[in-house]
Amino acid sequence: MTDMETAGPEISVVVPVKDEADNLAPLINEIGASLTGAGIAHEIVYVDDGSTDATPDILRRLMSDLPAVRAVRHHVCCGQSAAIATGVSHASAPLIATLDGDGQNDPADIPALLNRYREAAEGGLVMIAGHRTKRRDTALKRLSSRIANGIRGGLLKDATADTGCGLKVFSRDGFLALPRFDHMHRFLPALIIRAGGRVISVPVNHRPRERGASKYGVWNRLWVGIIDLFGVMWLARRAVRPDVEPLEPPG
Ligand SMILES: Nc1nc2c(ncn2[C@@H]2O[C@H](COP(=O)(O)OP(=O)(O)O)[C@@H](O)[C@H]2O)c(=O)[nH]1
Ligand SMILES: [Mg+2]
């Protein structure tokens, strides 16, 4: 066994998927190549969120070939935020990288995000957020995303140009202490700042979807997004961060 294996992984790559059968093997290979190439001890945790295609069968097969891959499954689709939370709970590394399971995020960006995390964290609460500087989506999706990011940034002051980017690096403990709710994954920067942390954006690559179909349109994001925005503004106003001092007995 190498030192890397005995020490356990430094980072768990958490990938939420819903009906992404054709994207599993190509993306897992890319994640493995990127992290192994950079000498980063890792595991890959897939969360199948109640897929109705061949996703669970293919994951089982890939797991038996590739020891770095683990997978868990929701019997019923619970949404992307719940899937990410399940993956983080099941992860065994202290650091987490998330990315979309459709191949639009580039795993080759993970080592740079991890380096930025190592430079910035120093024991504090830090999230590194990918910023898709050249979106490879339809014009409608790009426009709606720009408007949503503008309104969200203006109201929440979350200091993040692209909160919807699936590519992020953060600590497992930091995430597990955040409030949980459906759709929280689009508000992670605001929630980290609410918890007293910092968010640093790093430019990342973005690629067109090659296989499978998008699960989100403009409308199924817009209306819930408006409600969520008010919910997160309320949460931010109700933030309390006590500075706790342990008392020692005299002498
Ligand atoms: N767990 C889970 N993941 C989802 C769900 N909907 C989408 N995803 C995943 O979220 C990522 C981005 O979704 P996608 O449909 O490509 O959104 P788009 O890139 O914004 O069009 C992909 O990895 C999807 O598999 C869902 O209901 N549950
Ligand atoms: Mg996508």
pLDDT digits (tens, 9 = 90+) for 147-159: 888 889 999 999 9
**Cα separations (Å) of 221 from 92, 148, 195?**
31, 9, 25
**Residue 225 CA from chain centroid, whole number:** 18
The pLDDT assigned to 3 comes to 47
Given the CA of residue 84, which atom of ligand 1 is nearest to it?
Answer: 1
The rounded Å distance from CA 209 to ligand 2 centre is 6
Given the CA of residue 18, which atom of ligand 1 is nearest to it?
Answer: 25
Given the CA of residue 83, which atom of ligand 1 is nearest to it?
Answer: 1
pLDDT band at 79 (very low <50, low <70, confident <90, very high): very high
Residue with tokens 């061949």: 54
The pLDDT assigned to 141 comes to 87
Mean pLDDT of 51-68: 97
The rounded Å distance from CA 210 to ligand 2 centre is 10
pLDDT digits (tens, 9 = 90+) for 190-247: 999 999 999 999 999 999 999 999 887 777 777 778 889 999 999 999 999 999 999 9
pLDDT band at 1 (very low <50, low <70, confident <90, very high): very low
Mean pLDDT of 179-183: 96
3-state secondary structure of 115: helix
Neighbours of 133 (CB within 10 A): 12
The rounded Å distance from CA 242 to ligand 1 centre is 36
The pLDDT assigned to 6 comes to 62
Token representation of residue 6: 């005995």
Q: Quick one: which of 167, 169, 189 has its CA closest to 178?
A: 189
**Cα separations (Å) of 131 from 48, 126, 151, 226?**
25, 16, 17, 22
Strand segments (E) across 99-156: 126-132
The pLDDT assigned to 46 comes to 98
Q: Whose CA is nearest to atom 9 of ligand 1?
A: 17
Q: Assess whether the C-beta atom of 215 lies below 6 angstroms from ligand 1.
A: yes
Bin 66: left if φ > 0, else alpha if -120 < ψ < 50, else beta: beta
The pLDDT assigned to 222 comes to 76
More confident residue, 228 or 7: 228
Q: Assess whether the C-beta atom of 230 lies below 6 angstroms from ligand 1.
A: no
The pLDDT assigned to 147 comes to 87
Q: Is the pLDDT of residue 2 over 70?
A: no
pLDDT digits (tens, 9 = 90+) for 132-142: 999 999 998 88
Q: Which ligand is nearest to the CA of 141?
A: 1
